Structure 1
Amino acid sequence: MQRSRRRIATALSALAASLLVSLSLTAPPAHAAARNPVVFVHGFNGSGGSWNAWAASFKADGYAASELDAWSYTWSQSNATTARQLATEVQNVLARTGASKVDLVVHSMGALSSRYYLKNLGGTAYVDDFVSVAGTNHGTSVASLCGWLYTSCNEMRTGSSFVTALNSGDETPGSVSYAAYWSNCDAAIDPDDSALLSGAANVGVGCVSHTDMNSDPGVYARVRAFIQ
C-alpha cells in the first residue's frame, strides 16, 4: 500500500511538472508591453517639458506615465552625439517597459538626431512609427542666424554637410512607418517644404506656429491616429 502511494505521488509530481513546462512555453512574457511606449525628442533650445500638453493628452487616451518618455538632452551639441544618447535612451525604455519597439515623436531639430539614429545607428530595429512634427528634415535658412554659435544649429542649416549626408539615399529607411506634419506658416522652417520627407506620409496641418506644432490639439489628434 505504501509503495502504491509513493507511485501515485510520483506520477502526480511528474504531471504537475509537465503542466508547468507547458504553461511556461505558451504563456506570454510577464512583462510584455500592451503597446509601444512613446519617446519624445524635443528641438533646438527646448526640453522634455515642451511635450507636457501632448503627454497629458496621451494619458487621457489611456497611456500610462511609464509609457511616455519626454527626455531632455543638451541641444547645443552635435546631432550625432544626441543620436547616440537617443539610442541609449530607447534601450532603457525598452528594458523598463518590456516592449520590443518604441514610437518616436519628434519636433523641429529633434528630427535630425532621430533620423541619424534610424539611418546610422541601427534604430530601425527598435522603432515602429516615426513622427516628425515641424521637423527641419532638409534644413532651414533660419539656422544661419545661430550657426556660428552652436554645432547643432550649424548642422541644421540648409545645405549643411550634416543635412546633405542625412538625406542621401533613402530618407525613410527600414520597415518603420514614417509621417511628417508641416505648417504653411512656420516661420522657423524655411522653406516650408523642408519639413517633408520622401517616402513618408506628409501631412499639412494648416497655419500652426512652429512652437505650437507639438502642443496643438488638432495636430495631436492626427499624430495619435497615426501611431495607434
Structure 2
Amino acid sequence: EGETGRPDPAFPPAADGRGAAVAVQRAAPDDYGVGHVDVEFADDGSVEYPAVGRRESGIGPTLPPGSAAVAVRADPPNSASPGDSVQVWTAGEDGAPKQVTNAELRGTADDVVTLALDEEEAEQLDPERRYRLVTLPVESRADREFAARLRAAEETTGIVTVGEGSALASSVVGGVDVAIVAIRTADGDIVAIPSQSRAFAPGEIIHAIARPEALRRLEAAAAASDERPTEP
C-alpha cells in the first residue's frame, strides 16, 4: 500500500509508454478520486512527467465576468428549474408590486433561491426582504449550454501566447491537435473560429480546447526559442 492507505494500483501491461499512460489515466481517477491524470513514461518504464488535477466545483466557475450569484428568500413557481430566466418582484413603498430586476435561477432550497445576475443589479437585492419570481419564456443560452457541456467533458480550456521563434509561430491552425476557438492578435483583434489554413504569428494569444496533456504540448510548441529546453 502507498501513502494514501490504498493498495498500489495494478495497471494492465502496455507495449509502450503511450499505452502505459492511457492505462494510468483511465484507472487512477476511479482508484484515487482525482479529476485527471497527465503522465508520460519513458521507454524504460520510468515516469518522465506526472501531474494530477481536478475541476473547480461550485457555481463560481460558471459565472460570466461582471456577474454574481446571490441567495435570497423568494417564492419561485413550482415549474421553475435551474437555468430559467426569471423576473424578480417585491412590494414597493406603496405596497404595489415592483419589478427589481431580471436574473437566472441557479438553484432552490425550500424558500431560499440562488440567482445569477449582473453585479450592479445584485446590490439592489435585500437579504432581509422576500421576493416573488416570475418565470420568463425559455431562451436559448449558448454560453450556459457550452459551459455545462465543457464541465462534463474530459477536455478543458487553455490560453497560450505564441513566442518569437517558437515551433508554433511557423505552424497553422490545422497543424495542431487541439481545437482553436479564438485568436487574439497582437493588435488586440479577436479572430473567432479561425480557418484551418490561418497561420499563427508571434505575440498572438490562442484560446484552445483539448485534454490537459494536449494543451501542455501546445504550450511547449508556443514557447519562444530561448525558453525551450536545450538538448544535453
Common fold by TM > 0.5: no
Report which structure shows greater RCO (CA 8 Å, sep ≥6). 1
Q: Give 1 or 2: higher helix fraction.
A: 1
Q: Larger Rg: 1 or 2?
A: 2
